[in-house]
Amino acid sequence: MNWPLSRKTNGSETQTNGHIITMQSIRKVYDTGKIQVEALRGIDLEVGRGEFVAVIGPSGSGKSTLLNLLGCLDTPSDGNYLLGGEAVAGLDRDRLADVRNRRVGFVFQNFNLLPQLTALENVEMPMLFGGIGRKERRRRAMEGLEKVGLGDRTHHRPTELSGGQMQRVAIARALSMEPDILLADEPTGNLDTGSGTDVLSLLEELWKQGSTLVVVTHDAALSKRAQRVVEIRDGLIVNDRRTQTARDKASSSEDTAN
Ligand code: ADP
């Protein structure tokens, strides 16, 4: 079987061989005035549709910088980046925001829910900015909350939810605009083991349903569930490997095919 697995393809992306992400020679230099910090020093990365990738590495290695670039929150100093076949490296702020809203869903360590809004209203937020009408917003938000197992918590505010439930609301919010890719920064970092396991199971379930996930993590349990682990050190990818999970899945689907 070819690597990477590509499960959902659409004809418009043939130029990237079905890759949702193609990064070539990406560099990021932070200029703090006195000194320049080269946070990424030449990243080449391809991620296929339907992959589940964990990004690991020590603190300061460049993981957050990479996630920010992947999610179009920032632009590289140098190099090419195609997201869903769209060249985004040289876009100005407004166009970058447009690509981000259409193509990327974010999940953060601290959930980043708005405390004064209910779970339902939090999930509706990206759709509000995305110009989706009120009725459709509500319908999709209800559906999203049901999908993450919170159909009975729609009118709860974040303070009335557990950490694991808050993260599930955040995941429903990230999915509400039906993004091409879900990016998560330490999604289990603020959760106890039980809630962390629930969130991991949810991410895995989303992946099985076809979502593409890139997750920065220190959590060994999470990187074990991912299909592929990319390791960064000093701004460079030093290891990119398929996990046992991926090999098991590949061989079981070959068995089914035979
Ligand atoms: P990680 O997420 O792996 O901890 P980061 O991407 O946050 O790593 O940081 C990579 C390097 O870039 C570090 O040396 C960090 O100090 C530096 N860095 C990150 N953000 C900035 C910034 N906004 N300004 C200057 N330096 C930064």
What is the 3 state secondary structure string of the chain? CCCCCCCCCCHHHHHHCCEEEEEEEEEEEEECCCCEEEEEEEEEEEEECCCEEEEECCCCCCHHHHHHHHCCCCCCCEEEEEECCEECCCCCHHHHHHHHHHHEEEECCCCCCCCCCCHHHHHHHHHHHCCCCHHHHHHHHHHHHHHCCCCCCCCCCHHHCCHHHHHHHHHHHHHCCCCCEEEEECCCCCCCHHHHHHHHHHHHHHHHCCCCEEEECCCHHHHHHCCEEEEEECCEEEEEEECHHHHHHHHHHHHHHC
Q: What is the mean pLDDT of residues 221-249?
A: 87
Is it the case that residue 188 has pLDDT exceeding 50?
Answer: yes
**pLDDT tens digits, 14-28:** 356 779 999 999 999
Range with lowest mean pLDDT among 49-63, 97-111, 218-232, 235-249:
235-249
Is it the case that residue 257 has pLDDT exceeding 80?
Answer: no
**pLDDT tens digits, 197-230:** 999 999 999 999 999 999 999 888 888 889 999 9
pLDDT of residue 2: 34
Centre of ligand 1 to C-alpha 72, Å, is 16
What percentage of the chain exceeds 90 in pLDDT?
Answer: 79
Q: What is the mean pLDDT of residues 138-161?
A: 97
Q: Which residue would you say has higher pLDDT here, 77 or 18?
A: 77
pLDDT of residue 254: 60
Residue nearest to atom 21 of ligand 1 (CA): 30
**Sequence ranges of the domains in the chain:** 15-257
Given ligand 1 and candidates 26, 30, 35, 233, which is best to mutate, with the most ligand atoms within 8 Å of its CB?
30
Centre of ligand 1 to C-alpha 62, Å, is 6
The fold adopted by the segment(s) 15-257 is: Rossmann fold (3.40.50)
**Residue ranges lining ligand 1, Cβ < 6 Å:** 30, 32, 37, 39, 57, 59-65
